[in-house]
C-alpha cells in the first residue's frame, strides 16, 4: 500500500455538495480530485489555475500616450506569440461584464 497522509480542509457545505455532485458524474472521487490538484501543483511548480484580478475597463486609444500604446501593443503581441488568444465572443462577454 502506498504511503499516504490525510488532508483536512473546511469549505462551504453547498460548495462541497455541488463540487462532489460534478465529480461523481465524472467518476472521480473527492480524494482523487485532491490528488490530481496536488499532482498538477508539483508538475507545474505552481497553482494550476489561471488566477487574476477582475478586468479593468479598457482605455480608449486616444487617451493613451505613445509609451502606454506601445506597452499595450507589446502585451497583445506577446499574448499572440504565446498562444493566448480570445475569440470575438469571449471578448464581447468580457466587455459586456464590464458594463
Say whether both 45 and 68 belong to one domain.
no
- Kindly report the CATH number assigned to the domain that includes residue 20: 1.10.1220.10
Are both 15 and 38 inside the same structural domain? yes
Question: In this structure, is residue 1 part of a structural domain?
Answer: yes
Pairwise CA distance, residues 61 & 72, whole Å: 10
User: How many angstroms separate the CA atoms of 18 and 42, rounded?
Assistant: 26
Residue 56 lies in a domain: no
Residue range of the domain that includes 29: 1-51
Q: Are residues 3 and 44 in the same domain?
A: yes
Please say whether the dihedral angle defined by the alpha carbons of residues 39, 43, 45 and 51, taken in this order, is positive or negative: negative
pLDDT value at residue 1: 57
CA distances (Å), origin 83, targets 6, 54, 67, 76, 77: 38, 21, 24, 11, 10
**pTM of the model as a whole:** 0.50
Whether residues 65 and 38 fall in one domain: no
pLDDT tens, residue order, the chain (99 aa): 578 899 999 999 999 999 999 999 999 999 999 999 999 999 999 988 877 767 666 678 888 889 989 998 999 899 889 888 888 898 888 888 777
Distance between first and last Cα of the chain = 55
Q: Does residue 71 fall inside a structural domain?
A: yes
Task: Please report whether residue 66 resides in a domain.
Answer: yes
Give the pLDDT confidence score for residue 33 in this predicted structure: 95
- Domain total of the chain: 2
CB atoms within 10 A of CB 69: 14
Q: Examine the domain organization and report whether 32 and 72 are in the same domain.
A: no
Q: Which pLDDT belongs to residue 22? A: 93
pLDDT tens digits, residue range 49-66? Answer: 877 767 666 678 888 889
Amino acid at each position: 500500500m502506498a504511503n499516504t497522509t490525510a488532508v483536512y480542509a473546511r469549505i462551504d457545505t453547498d460548495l462541497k455538495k455541488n463540487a462532489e455532485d460534478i465529480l461523481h458524474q465524472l467518476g472521480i472521487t473527492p480524494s482523487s480530485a485532491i490528488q490530481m490538484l496536488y499532482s498538477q501543483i508539483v508538475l507545474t511548480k505552481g497553482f494550476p489555475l489561471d488566477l487574476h484580478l477582475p478586468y479593468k475597463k479598457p482605455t480608449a486609444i486616444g487617451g493613451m500616450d505613445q509609451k502606454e500604446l506601445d506597452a499595450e501593443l507589446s502585451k497583445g503581441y506577446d499574448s499572440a506569440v504565446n498562444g493566448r488568444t480570445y475569440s470575438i465572443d469571449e471578448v464581447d462577454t468580457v466587455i459586456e461584464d464590464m458594463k
